Structure 1
């Protein structure tokens, strides 16, 4: 089994899973594999470990995606013709500001919002949520059309899929009723006299507590921000449609540990309920080997009659037996994950690499193990 068809054909690949299962490393490795196969790839990641960031060449606080040099993608093969691999660690503050500039009707309107004293509060409230940043960045890059494949590394929590709803939550938080609540609905038709009395009450209470200047500033800010509501709603619907389409796929990354498998089952149930395209599992840190492990007893033919060698081989044999049993357990687990998968979905095993990968060559090897074309 291989993820090669996903890396070859999809435009969006979303990786979900519990924390600590190697999801970010898997996203990076798949990005390397797709780029080495000739595609223009962007990996959007959430706060990668320091060694992984160094392996990918990610600067701290980069305002734009970082391009991995082509010679690194070639990995010493001068004849290779890789595509392009860009990597960006999501920065919620930068993303939220770009959203304001992109959706404001004029540069002056954007400046009014960004320079307002309430902008810092709102951007901190909303942009501090990684799910919102993931949604906005993914929608923006898809709309630009710069990349053939975007791989999104979601936050490591059960709320990871909230990025699909985050823009809608912002829109509902600052919707038309909030605008009218601050007396900005000059038409007077919303809610009649009762609603007008409510707006007067709210304004009076806020004015008595914070002062009339606060109420005036709040009204001006909400009025300026209201021009973005239609755009926020539009891109929420657009992103949902794209991620529900055949051009997208959701991969669940797990490890053999019980807690990680439980999270994977939760994510699969959620994807099914939301009608999102589930593409399968990556069983990370796995001993689910296809080949048989070598037996230490074969070493004895090189030192016949050596009692010390026999004692050492016996110790190695016990270790080898433990490894064979563990590999068998992981193969059975992989087989269970592969049961009742949707048509086209796969369950693949990523090898145990003994901790975090420390260099780009290691990412290349992992990418090849996961995304190499299937041998027929």
Structure 2
């Protein structure tokens, strides 16, 4: 369900302000959506998707259950964190559990907010964060090499595969490059992911700007966007201050407030959408009188595996999926209308689920 995003950054870049805005949003949603829990450093928010509301209206669903995104707030990094400076290695375990990492970068001037490095330079800040993560990865792999070599000599197939990958990653890290630049085949991907390296995770750059720059960005955020473009990453311009103000407003007042600022959607919405693009995620729906629900899967997932997201028994006993495109479901007023118009398809095990599909799985018990 959804994905988990770690939020990292240097002190005083607006990371905590952004996270607090996100968790305030989660608290506001808790009355409307289940599973919306908050812990001190974890916040879950519903993924905004107007299609779900439309489907629930057509299906006369009693409950709406969106997919969700988990934000994990990581303690502020400082130069030397990997060597124990600041909170040191306390942040590592949290980052290893996330699907993607959001680098929150300061892109605003404010004499009242001291920068830990004494200047505003978002690209240098990104380099500092990345360097600390690379050093941690390097030390982690160098500790593992001896044990892997010993197991590989004993004809341990898994150890041989991992050792080959480690020996491919180490030169990159020693050259100051992140592990995600390692060329990995589809067959090698599971073993590579099992290394659980911090710098192997996709990066989402969050340019935190002042309120006046929220709609167009500024010179600082332009540099961040250019860097993301060069790396094939994703960048989002957000004003954490504005997000914290939006989080306190009643839902009916938010659209008017955004419009006054020249914004079409909240920064949270843009952040979520960017995360989906970065990770190649899509959404399918299940609709019935009890609930209309959104489910998150990776793009390219086949029907049995999509069914397995709901329950493993659905995947094991998969027979077929009754499939209706979102547009058809809404235009034809639901399942009965789609079926009558010949717009409901029976798809088998090789069907690749498309974004927006409304699915009903048939499976053997």
TM class by shorter chain equals 0.3 to 0.5
> Higher helix proportion, which one?
1
Structure with the larger RCO, 1 or 2 (CA within 8 Å, 6+ apart) = 1
TM-score by length of structure 2 reads 0.34
TM-score by length of structure 1 reads 0.33
If you compute each CA radius of gyration, which structure gives the higher value, 1 or 2?
Answer: 1
> Higher strand proportion, which one?
2
